Structure 1
Amino acid sequence: MACDANGPLTGVSRSFGLHGRRSANRRGILAMPMKDPDTHKFLVDEYLSHWTPSVDNQEAQNDRLTRRASYAIITKQYYDLVTDIYEHTLGTHFHFCCIRPGVPLSVAVSVHEQFLVEQLGLQDGQRVVDIGCGVGGPAREIARYASVAVVGVNISEYQLHRAARYTAAANLQDQVTFNRADFMQTGLESDSFDAAYSIEGTSYAPSLQGVYSEIFRILKAGGTFAAYELALTDIYNDDNPEHRKIRHALEEGMGITNLCTMSEAIEAMKAVGFELKNAEDLACSPDQIPWYYLLTGSLRVINSIWDIRRLIHMAFLRSRVARGMVGAFESAGILPPGSQKIVNTLARVGDMLVKAGEMKLFTPMFLIVGKKPQEELPCVAKAAKDPLYGGCNSAADSIAVSVNFRLGPLGFLEYPDAGITGNYGIQNQLLALRWVQEEISTFGGDPDKVLLFGQSSGGMDS
């Protein structure tokens, strides 16, 4: 086992002890033979020790609470062990997506990410945070697509090392940056981001309310947060032993300590102060291919000819032949000890994802969107006949509206209902005030707090 002067390597140093420089400079399964064998075996055994099956429901709940307390360690261990395999099968985008008939998976992945951009309403130059950014595939896609600056947050040093390399290769290092942090306590400045998103990232939090609260803190007022959550659907019944077994298998196979239901995600979003704008299970769309179709490894259903290579690849990796080969390579010292255990774990969760998807018990694309409320400011409407009298000097913790009305031929319209002659431009001002009442909330103003004052004839009208 790799050690430093104080004993077994821990935290960041253990991650470096596992991967080393030679492993970090290779990609996918080509990096696996370069792992430190003693550290790899230790991490595999330690990770799997968290997932001993429980006898009854109460014991299972207690075990889940214990895992939640160790979420940071479990998440880091999981991604230290599976990142290379994920890259080999999924590229740099570690997530599921909506798949339309005939659309290649590579295109569907980009469309899935771009749809999240539309939910955020991003504008050029805005600053956006990616919570749980993986190796940065979505961050780079969104930065290019929306012309925004993206800061990725990730607890895995190994993934961030790879993310930085891929970002530099894409010449996006000035637009996409990364911050190594626990997303429950990012250390980022409060009120500093225009928008935030997470693609299956916040699902790894021990508490959705906790991570949503941190996102709420770093968002500017009026900022939007959108996420694709890995979630149990509302069909899930905690009193059903089969449902609990499926949840346990999903949590173990994906490194999640607290897989929540869609309802729990909605409650958490509201509890921290977000205004809920959308909550929808995108997996329920009737006109799309099942999100788990690639995991079936079946060539009987091919959505696109461009997916054939991936389907064959996935079918082989999940086969007994492939698992036997991994075991043989491990015995020969080509792959590090524990490799077969990890491959078996991923194969089991693949089967369970298909089962949970067919039962509609689980979704990897529960879209949830919330907006951080923006304080509504009082409105000051100043009526002035001279356009030189604007409202800029009056604006202080308020929305200033300057109404410059006409006193020419069109301005001299009488208001007979009140017996007012036409030389006060009253019709123009009434029209302007109606607009203020209807539209000022768009600018952050409160239509119930409008102060009207004026100068010259505007003062008399006020």
Structure 2
Amino acid sequence: MSRSGALDLATGLGGKIKKNEVQSAVEQYEKYHVCFGGDDDTRKTNYSDMVNKYYDLATSFYEYGWGESFHFAHRWNGESLRESIKRHEHYLALQLGLKPGMKVLDVGCGIGGPLREIARFSSTSITALNNNEYQISRGTELNRLVGLGDSCDFVKADFMKMPFADNTYDAVYAIEATCHAPDVVGCYKEIYRVLKPGQCFAAYEWCMTDNFDPNNETHQRIKAEIELGNGLPDIRSTNQCLEAVKLAGFEIISEKDLAADSPVPWYLPLDGSRFSLTSFRLTSIGRFITRTMVKTLEFVRLAPAGSARVSSFLETAAEGLVEGGRKEIFTPMYFFLAQKPL
């Protein structure tokens, strides 16, 4: 059900941004980042505008190239990317002990790919929190198409200020989403507040590893490329992430960088030096075709002006992610399971 055609990509590009304002939005988004003269403080102060612009601009590309679940996954030899993504979602559900009848919150849900998979796998009712109007409208449509319109819903809100009462949910999870938070302790405290005592929060976080050297110019460039291409105010270290969970009041049950022992490198789908028929659009040839197609669609005005620039910074992100993965200075799957004390 993912939008997979060229015209789907063109019509979806820009999300809720008016088509004649896409190029301006791209320019404003780029200026938040180091590569274009921006800084961490500006990104954190304006994180809501930055992240909303990012997902309006990038969601159509994500769905075209990746599918409905916008995340990486621990992957076994012989396992397809799609299979690994589903298993990654199932692993999260099993770690949380999700069972029928539980009320679950997905924090930063994208267009709801993980929500739909986890809801069907665990027979739970899931509320999806998202601050991007375009992704919510797209996710609501996809929920309806698979018959989850009544059991799962979307709420438009900022995860720094959730519109839920204290002690509402039986479980909370976040998949590569709270990396967008300008203040991760504040974000985790909000999750703590809405979670029932004795219940658990699980997450996959984007982090810099212990191998990252802040004084290394190459490492700094890679970090900046990942931030630019993924709408991030700043990428925290695994230690900073874990400390933030504790400061929010949680007790750590388990934590692990799942990328460290993944038999197949998590970044392999983005590696331009490999070829894959099942993930053809992510290969260097596939990305070249997409890039050419987007330029053509923009030239004939089927895609809005600025579309090719979005494609460009997403490719920069892919290159940064691959390089960060190879050097083992970045992980998109630092996993932790934490409990709110009784």
TM-score, structure 1 as length reference: 0.70
The superposition leaves residues 164-213 of structure 1 with CA deviations (integer Å, 9 ceiling, x where unpaired) of 00001110112211110000111111100011000001111111111100
Structure 1 residue identity aligned to 2:26: V
CA offset at residue 325 of structure 1?
4.2
CA distance, structure 2, for counterparts of residue 363 and residue 28 of structure 1: 31
Equivalent in 166, 179, 193 of residue 203 of structure 1: 179
CA distance, structure 1, for counterparts of residue 151 and residue 43 of structure 2: 36
Is 2:180–2:231's contact at 8 Å kept on the other side of the alignment?
A: yes
Equivalent in 207, 219, 235 of residue 243 of structure 1: 219
CA distance, structure 2, for counterparts of residue 325 and residue 126 of structure 1: 45
Gap regions ≥5 residues in structure 1: 1-24, 301-306, 375-462
Gap regions ≥5 residues in structure 2: none
Per the alignment, residue 280 of structure 2 pairs with 311
**What does residue range 43-442 of structure 1 map to in structure 2 within 5 Å?**
43-53=25-35, 63-285=39-261, 288-299=263-274, 308-311=277-280, 314-319=283-288, 322-374=290-342
Over 3 Å counting, the alpha-carbon distance change for 1:313 and 1:261 in structure 2 is: closer
CA distance, structure 1, for counterparts of residue 91 and residue 290 of structure 2: 36
CA offset at residue 49 of structure 1?
1.7
CA distance, structure 2, for counterparts of residue 128 and residue 285 of structure 1: 29
Over 3 Å counting, the alpha-carbon distance change for 1:234 and 1:226 in structure 2 is: same
Is 1:282–1:365's contact at 8 Å kept on the other side of the alignment?
A: yes
CA offset at residue 72 of structure 1?
0.5
Is 2:34–2:224's contact at 8 Å kept on the other side of the alignment?
A: no
Over 3 Å counting, the alpha-carbon distance change for 1:26 and 1:123 in structure 2 is: closer
CA distance, structure 2, for counterparts of residue 26 and residue 310 of structure 1: 15
CA distance, structure 1, for counterparts of residue 32 and residue 314 of structure 2: 16
TM-score, structure 2 as length reference: 0.93
CA offset at residue 103 of structure 1?
1.1
* Percent identity (aligned): 35
Instruction: Tell whether 2:38 aligns with 1:42.
Output: no
| Relative contact order, higher structure (CA 8 A, sep 6+) | 2
The superposition leaves residues 318-377 of structure 1 with CA deviations (integer Å, 9 ceiling, x where unpaired) of 33x643443343233232111111111111111111110000000011001110001xxx
| Cα RMSD, aligned residues only | 1.9
Q: Secondary structure at the match of 2:278?
A: helix
CA offset at residue 28 of structure 1?
6.1
Over 3 Å counting, the alpha-carbon distance change for 1:188 and 1:29 in structure 2 is: farther
CA offset at residue 312 of structure 1?
5.3
